[in-house]
Amino acid sequence: MSSQEGYSRQVNAATPSPTANWPVPEAQSRGEEWVYDVFTPPHIFYDATTQRFRVTPAFGQIARPGQLPKSQGFGLELQEVRRAKFPLQLIGYVGEPGHFLGTFANLETYETLLLTTADRVESLGLCIDKLEVQMVAVKIPDSMSVNDYRVSAIVRDLRTGQITNLQQGETQYSDALLATVTFSAGNEPPRDVSVGDTLTRGEDHFIIEKIRLAPPSVDVTKEQPGRAAQEHHTLNPSISPVQFLP
C-alpha cells in the first residue's frame, strides 16, 4: 500500500507558448495571382477554349487590402473580353430531299433568311459555298439514338476568302473580339466595343485601339479638347479571378 507521507504538491509555472506570425504569401514569378499559401494553394486547370492552363487564386475574387483597379481615375473600366458571334448563324432547314433550304439568322439585321448553295448575303459580304442536309444519328438523353436530318453549311467571306463551317444547333464564333466596358462614374449601362470604336463622355473621347483575349485587356487612347498630349492606358478587369500562363 502506498503512503502519502512526505508528499508535497508542487505547481509548475505555465510556460507561455510563442506566437508565430505567418508572413503574407508572395506572388510567384509567373504572375501576381500565382500565390502559394500553406493551406490554400491555387487550383490549376486546363482551359480547352484557349488551350492553356490557368489558375484560380487562393484569395478568389476578393481584392487584397489596398488593392485598387489599375484603371481608377482614367474614366473607363473593363469588365470582360470575349469572342464575337459569327454574324450569320445556321438555325435549321426547310424543304424536302433535293430541295432543301437552310434557315439562317442575320445577327446584324435580326432577319431570318432562307438560303442555299451559291446564295449571297451582300450586307455581310458572305457566300454560301455549300449547303448540305444529311441523315445522322442523334443522341437523346436517357433514350436510344434516332436518325434525323441535320444541316450544315460552308460559308466564305467574299472579302478575305476565309471559310467558316456552320452546324445546325451550334453557335459559331468569329475571330473578332468584343470588350464590355463601363464608365467609372454614373449609372450608364455597360457597352460592348470593338477595335476602332470611340466612346464619348462629356469632353473625354475614348478610342479602342486593341483588344486581347488572354489575358483580357484593352488598349485605350483618351483624348480631351485643348490637350495636345493624349493619354494611353491598358485596361484590365478590376479584379481578375484567373491568370493565364504565358
- Determine which of 90-99, 133-142, 171-180, 184-193 has the lowest per-residue pLDDT on average: 133-142
Mean pLDDT for the chain? 79
Residue 127 lies in a domain: yes
Query: What value does the mean pLDDT take over residues 184-194?
Result: 87
Q: By the 8 A CB rule, do 141 and 123 touch?
A: no
Count Cα atoms within 13 angstroms, Cβ side, for 27: 11
Residue 67 lies in a domain: no
- Angstrom distance (rounded) from CA 169 to CA 167: 6
* Domain shared by 195 and 94, yes or no: no
- Residue 240 is predicted with a pLDDT of 41
Residue 37 lies in a domain: no
Closest CA relative to residue 116, chosen from 135, 97, 96, 93? 93
Please state the pTM of the whole predicted model.
0.58
* Domain shared by 101 and 124, yes or no: yes
Q: Of 171, 195, 215, which closes a domain?
A: 171
Q: Of 171, 203, 225, which closes a domain?
A: 171
- Residue 59 is predicted with a pLDDT of 33
- Residue 242 is predicted with a pLDDT of 41
- Which structural domain, as residue segments, surrounds residue 201? 76-84+175-244
* Domain shared by 93 and 162, yes or no: yes
Residue 146 lies in a domain: yes
Residue 57 lies in a domain: no
* Residue 162 grid coordinates: 476565309
What phi, psi does 71 have (nearest 5°)? -90, 5
**Tally of domains in the chain:** 2
- Determine which of 1-15, 51-65, 82-96 has the lowest per-residue pLDDT on average: 51-65
Judged by DSSP in three states, 153 sits in strand
Q: Where do the DSSP E strands lie in 86-162? A: 88-94, 101-106, 111-115, 120-121, 126-138, 146-157
Apex CA 46: angle with CA 41 and CA 47, to 5°? 120
